[in-house]
Amino acid sequence: MTTQNNSSLERDEENVTGAQALIKSLLEEGVDTIFGYPGGAIMPVYDALYDFLDKVNHVLTRHEQGAIHAAQGYARVSGKVGVCFATSGPGATNLITGIADAMIDSTPLVCFTGQVTSPLLGTDAFQESDIVGMSMPVTKWNYQITDADEITDVVAKAFFIAKSGRPGPVLIDISKDAQFAPTSFKYKKYRRIRSYLPEQPVEKKSLIDAARLINQAKKPLMLVGQGVVLSGAEKVLLQFAEKTGIPMASTLLGLSAVPSDHPLWKGMLGMHGNYGPNVMTNECDLLLAVGMRFDDRVTGDIKTYATQAKVIHVEIDPSEINKNIPAEVAICSDAKKALKMLLKLVKDNDHTAWCNEFVPFQEAEYEKVIEKDIYPSKPGLTMGEVVHQVAEATNHDAIMATDVGQQQMIAARYFKFKNSRSCITSGGLGTMGFGLPAAVGAAVGNPTKPVIAFLGDGGYQMTIQEMATIKQENLNVKVVVLNNEFLGMVRQWQELFFDRRYSFTEMHNPDFIKIAEGYGIPARLVRERDDLAAAIDEMLAQEGPYFLEVRVEKEDNVFPMVPSGATISDVRLGPNS
Amino acid sequence: MQKQEFTISAYTENTIGLLNRITIMFTRRRMNIDSLTVSESAIAGISKFTIVVKDTEERIRKLCVQIERHVEVLKCFYHRNDEVVHQEVALYKVSSESLLSGDHIEKLVREYNARILEITPNFTVIEKTGHKAETQELFEKLNPHGVLQFIRSGRVAITRSNIEKLSEFLRERDRVQTVLDHNN
């Protein structure tokens, strides 16, 4: 027998434990990083992992929620599947928020949870929880393994499901006895599943109909969603936009797919999006929605949303088509394939006059909102100027992670992006506590650029423990806490819609600088405008982690704003407009 | 849009937990399931769910495409009542004494095309198949004579049209997969 045969024999047939088979399966899927937290029911897996640390990196977070948000951040910057480990019971339930977040934001994840040994299932054993039952509504697929022989096949299936079609989170629960049991290792990647069709063949007619509408349109507007990023359509999207001359606007998760300085890019859509795109949604004659799902934060009142426009909806998930906004033409496809095919069918066009119609809105927004936000004349520091100055100082070449709330919307509005996959934020679920651990994952997933995490004082304290992970891994994460001593977005709503009754939104915070220093991370507090630039320079010059707290104006509001349930073009530029 | 009764048919892989995955979709939308039947379809390994629910067609349509999103669901159809032939089976237990104490029950059995499954010295089991209204009507007629137990199955249904031919659907799905594999 030749050496070659021996090695292939080893690869396919050797006797391994279930836990070893699991780790070897992950290597077959090209997994280079695992985020996790060990515990009783997943100890055999952690024991097996110990022999493979030359091939795969494990990041120990300080909470399972931290592990899954980190896996999300990793997946979002890298385009790879995020992987996380947690033990049974509370370890598993601590993943749920992140799983739900990944589900609604279409993030590919494979989560492994340990489970009590199979004879104890259903007996209320120590650290037993029905994680398969609990995670059903928020996973794309989940499965419980009690037989070691199933492990390789189920892992292969899990990765195929997580990343194909509309991506999403998969949870695999493995009983402790299956982790210990002997099995053989033979890995075969999945290419198809009988009951699962992740993509449909594109109907030629829908492409022709769409091209006709695009070629005829006088005032077309293209809406760019995360589907563009997920399918890797950034380049063809720009070719398409430049050929047809169609102006673009992005959803929150579609941000960074198009460089913010592109002349055809008109800004962000939705509740705190830009004035022009929101108003023009209700002025255009054609709405070309690409890889987005018409979330209510984007549409406002759907009864009055773009009723004058014909709608072309390019979307890979058939259940999103005609769900919120009816489509004149639906192209059920991933964005890249659809745009490639459409590119051949559309004619060269120019919509300069129509694009110029955005200008007065841009000017009004600049005068009434943007200038005051990023070049304020009043004494208190604004979130906008901090984000703006940090972004300028990084030459817009950093990865931005945010938490949820005012700082998220301000960061999304003012960061301005150069590179795709550089906006990491929780969209659909709006998960406070997402920002810091997501920055951990983003820094691991893309070590070539600094990660700037813009957090509020509220969200920061929800997952503050991940400062330890940042320190332990010496990650290039710059944590910027915009501290207004309020749950700012809730306070804003209380001010505008609840008669200024500030019910439980004021926060008495600890000394964040001492805390950061306690974690061994260099930290600086800025209270005055004059100190900001130097602090930012110091932060960016520092190798590895840095913590910057900026005391911002306590009662600033985020504008423009479309009040909840209002018509999208009824966007307000200030409290009284 | 008016609420009306729909029969949802979902063809699925036969896996643990799928029943839960499907029913929670109704829970989430606050839809009450009137009846639910799950059994193996004509193709081995593939289960068929038959679910009866009252709602607007718009909501049912959206629900069905979302059910189809599940990895283990092959196809989900919905039909108005006039598009399907449907049936339920009901069992009624009466005491044999009341059966023998006159001809009321025997007449009802004849009149309603029901049949007697089993007679013991203590009780008699009567069976009737039909629409819910029919089995309910017989129950109401029998009840004054003392119905000891009554049970009705969930609905089973067959479409009047041809669109629900699963084997053809599977062949088509295979063809599509091959085309997609080729394109990728």
What's the complex ipTM?
0.91
CA distances A449 to A16, A395, A397, A398, B147, Å, are: 39, 11, 7, 6, 77
pLDDT, position B184 = 65
Residues of A in contact with B68 (CB under 8 A): 318-319
pLDDT of B179 reads 81
Sequence-distant (6+) residues with CB within 8 A of A263 are A355
Q: Which residues does chain A have within 8 Å of residue B74's beta carbon, measured at their own beta carbons? A: 194-195
Residue A560, preceding bond cis, omega within 30 degrees?
Answer: yes
pLDDT one-digit tens code per residue, B18-57: 999 999 999 999 999 999 999 998 888 899 999 999 999 9
What is the pLDDT at residue B176? 84
- Which one-letter DSSP state was computed for residue A62? S
Partner residue facing B12 (CB), from A144, A195, A322: A195
* Cβ contact, residue pair A196, B17, below 8 Å: no
pLDDT class for B162, splitting at 50, 70, 90?
low
Does the distance separating the beta carbons of B13 and A319 come in below 8 Å?
no
Provide the β-strand partners of residue A472. none
Q: Is A442 helix (H, G, I), strand (E, B) or coil?
A: helix
Q: What percent of chain B has pLDDT over 90?
A: 79
With 0-12 / 13-18 / 19 or more C-beta atoms within 10 angstroms meaning exposed / middle / buried, residue A174 is buried
pLDDT of residue A155: 98
CB contacts of B170 in chain A (<8 Å) are 194
Q: What 3-state DSSP class applies to B1?
A: coil
Q: Is A195 in contact with B71 (Cβ distance < 8 A)?
A: yes
Q: What residues of A act catalytically? A: 64, 126-127, 176, 489
Query: How many Å lie between the alpha carbon of B168 and the closest alpha carbon of chain A?
Result: 14
Strand A109-115 and strand A82-86: pairing? parallel
CB contact under 8 A, A133 and B20: yes
d(CA A497, CA A504): 15
Distance CA A73, CA A440 (A): 7
Contact A136 B20 (CB under 8 A): yes
Q: pLDDT tens across A390-449, in order? A: 999 999 999 999 999 999 999 999 999 999 999 999 999 999 999 999 999 999 999 999
Residue among A196, A319, A322 whose CB faces B71 most closely: A196
List of chain B residues whose C-beta atoms are within 8 Å of the C-beta of residue A318: 65, 68-69
Interface residues of chain B, partner chain A, Cβ below 8 Å: 12-13, 16-17, 20-21, 24, 28, 62, 65-66, 68-74, 170, 173, 176-177, 179-181, 183
User: Which residue of A136, A193, A196 is in closest CB contact with B21?
Assistant: A136
Q: Do the chains contact at B69 and A323, CB–CB below 8 Å?
A: no
**pLDDT of residue A9 exceeding 70:** no
Average pLDDT taken over every residue of chain A: 96
How many beta-carbon pairs below 8 A join chains A and B? 52
pLDDT tens string A533-577:
999 999 999 999 999 999 999 999 999 999 988 999 999 999 876
Distance CA A23, CA A152 (A): 10
Give me the amino acid identity at B152: R
Average pLDDT over residues A70-86: 98
Q: What is the mean pLDDT of residues A191-210?
A: 93
Which pLDDT value is given to residue A378?
A: 93
- Å between B29 CA and nearest CA of chain A: 12
pLDDT at A224 exceeding the cut of 90: yes
Which chain A residues touch B if contact means CB-CB below 8 Å?
132-133, 136-137, 140-142, 144, 161, 191-197, 199-201, 317-319, 322-323
- Within its chain, how far is the Cα of A484 from the centroid? 25
Q: What is the mean pLDDT of residues A380-395?
A: 98
Question: What is the least distance, in Å, from the CA of B23 to any CA of chain A?
Answer: 10
- pLDDT tens by residue, A111-161: 999 999 999 999 999 999 999 999 999 999 999 999 999 999 999 999 999
Rounded Cα gap, residues A217 and A309, in angstroms: 10
Q: Give Cα separations from A476 to A416, A437, A489 (angstroms).
A: 20, 13, 28
CB contact (8 A) between residue A140 and residue B17: no
**pLDDT at residue A11, rounded to an integer:** 53
Question: Is B62 in Cβ contact with A323 (below 8 Å)?
Answer: yes
